[in-house]
Amino acid sequence: MNHLEKIYSSKLTLQTKNMMKKTSLTRRLTKVFGASVFLFLSAGGAAQASDNVPAAAQKTPLLFKGATLHTVSGESIANGNMLVDKGRIVALGSQFAIPANAKVIDVSGKHIYPGMIAANTVMGLAEVQSVRATLDYAEAGAINPNARALVAVNPDSELITTARANGVLATLSVPNSPAGLINGTSALIQLDGWTWEEMSVQSEVGLHISLPNLRFNPELFPAPFDARLEEIRKASAQRLKMLEEAFDSAIAYREARAQNDGTKIDVRWEAMLPAIAGKRLVFFHAQDVNQIRFALNFAKRYQLKAVIVGGADAPVLGDLLKQQQVPVIVTGIHKLPMRRGADYDAYYTVAAKLAQAGVQFCIARAGTDDDAPNERNLPYEAAVAATFGLDAKEALKAITLYPAQILGVADKLGSLESGKLANFFITNGDPLETTTQVEQVYIQGRAVDTSTKQSRLTEKYQQKYLQKAQP
């Protein structure tokens, strides 16, 4: 018995050992990349590409003059100027040198905000729900840590143009398999570019784990369904055991590779190494208190950098979340209560309660393929949170600076500061108000086309009725 087998004998089930023996590097690479490429190519025949042409790189310095600059990280600057060059913000305020070749853009009376960040989406991975070839956010099987969201992103998605037209300029694209357990690695993308390489802000952000249901309410299962309830309990327990075995496998694999005993590369466990080393975030998708408590205990046991995604019951464990410094991505403010006896505003107040408890948080949407076409509504999720107790400035931070901090990209995105990427939008008012219009969008200093399929159809049929109205 070699060193690897000695370690595995105490940590792995027979099923896991057999799986490792049968899986080769070639087969795994084919599964991760081949399937994604196939689905991407298939989608081309099923859904048309967006008509929007990605903008060319910024070549001339731009001076935005006279707007209110909402820095988010500090105080707003009324009647301020902002200099942008080579895709980054150079200076803000009024006391700075202006290059002679700078192009002046008068935005007097307007407002400039940093691009919003949707921290839980399948953006670029889902297009048309009824066309399976356009849905590439899920791999087969429960354990897929090696699946990478970035390589499956479709830059021609019409949903991208819809989101950025309302100021959502970056998204965390998340592998989200309904039947998955370890779903793979998410990527942070900016919403403009010819290819997924150009869109990438951070290619691998974190590993995503979907916890099984741990809320077993007998009231939901009357007497005739007692047997069914027991089956669900056993299935959930089995999935939690699979999760532990996967992490134990990855640790055993790391130790075996360190011993240099000839163990072959397994891309599944390779993908988990940064997570178990504490170098990559681990996102636990968990809503109820039992799921969140399990995630916290699991993260502590394996020394993981955990993030809770969902967090409906997170305020109940606010003290523990703060103590362990685990942030929460609150998903789906616009929801009905999870329990029959809960207050109608149970979801609306989660963000405010987390802020009051001192827990790091941000606001996102539910992250399903149902939500992908509506990521443009992200600011209105924050607006509801502000209406139900969250400070208005905190609500804006919850969709800009706070997600950037949680995702580890606050040096690039999330606020208007010198040195950061020039990803911002210009409005005629508060973006949390539905009446506000986003008038201009810039990504890395280049003006982005804000037209959408919806706006083009509007213009088309306006012509139809104008023609009919003519004598």
- Beta-carbon contacts of residue 392 (< 8 Å; ≥ 6 apart): 386, 432
What are the structure tokens assigned to 317, written together? 């464990």
Q: What is the pLDDT of residues 54-108, one digit of tens each?
A: 989 999 999 999 999 999 999 999 999 999 999 999 999 988 999 999 999 999 9
**Mean per-residue pLDDT for 146-169?**
95
Q: pLDDT, tens digit, for every residue of 102-157?
A: 999 999 999 999 999 999 999 999 888 777 778 888 888 899 999 999 999 999 99
**3-46+116-413 classified as CATH 3.20.20.140:** yes
- pLDDT tens for 388-426 read 999 999 999 999 999 999 999 999 999 999 999 999 999
**Whole-number percent of the chain with pLDDT over 90:** 69
Q: Which pLDDT belongs to residue 137?
A: 86
d(CA 410, CA 170): 12
* CATH fold label, 56-114+415-471: Urease, subunit C; domain 1 (2.30.40)
Query: What are the sequence ranges of the domains in the chain?
Result: 3-46+116-413, 56-114+415-471
pLDDT band at 217 (very low <50, low <70, confident <90, very high): low
pTM: 0.86
Q: What pLDDT is stored for residue 46 in this prediction?
A: 44
- Which residues have C-beta within 8 Å of that of residue 397, sequence separation ≥ 6? 72
The 8 Å CB, 24+ separation contacts for 95-100 are 98/63, 99/61
